[in-house]
A = this chain, B = another copy of it.
C-alpha cells in the first residue's frame, strides 16, 4: 500500500445551474464517504477559506490512485496536486499516540 497527499481545488463555473451544482456536490460527498469507509480515503480536511481540501489516499498502487481520482464526480472541475508519501524514520508507533480526530 502507498500513501499520497492530494490537494484538491474546486473551480465550479459561477453560472452553473443550481440544481446541477447541488447534484454534483451531493454525489461527490457520497463518493467521498464510500471511499473513506473503505479505508482508501484516509484523511479529509477543508483548507480554511478555500473551496477545496487536503486529503490523504491509501492506494494499492498508482493505477488504483488514478482510478479513484478520475472517478471523482467533480473531476472535470478540480485541479489536483499529488505528492507520494513514504514512512518517516522518526514516526512513533501508532499505539503510542494520543490520537483522537
Contacts and interface: CB of A to CB of B under 8 A. Distances in A.
Interface of A: 1-6, 13-14, 28-29, 32-33, 36-39, 42-50, 53-54, 56, 58, 61-63, 65-66, 69-70, 76-77, 80, 82-92, 94, 96-101
Contacts of A46: 66, 85-89
A48 B99 contact: no
Number of copies: 10
Contacts of A5: 45, 54
Contact of A48 (B29, B56, B66, B98): B66
A87 to B, nearest CB: 6
Contacts of A92: 33, 36-37
B32 A90 contact: yes
B44 A83 contact: no
Contact of A61 (B53, B61, B63): B61
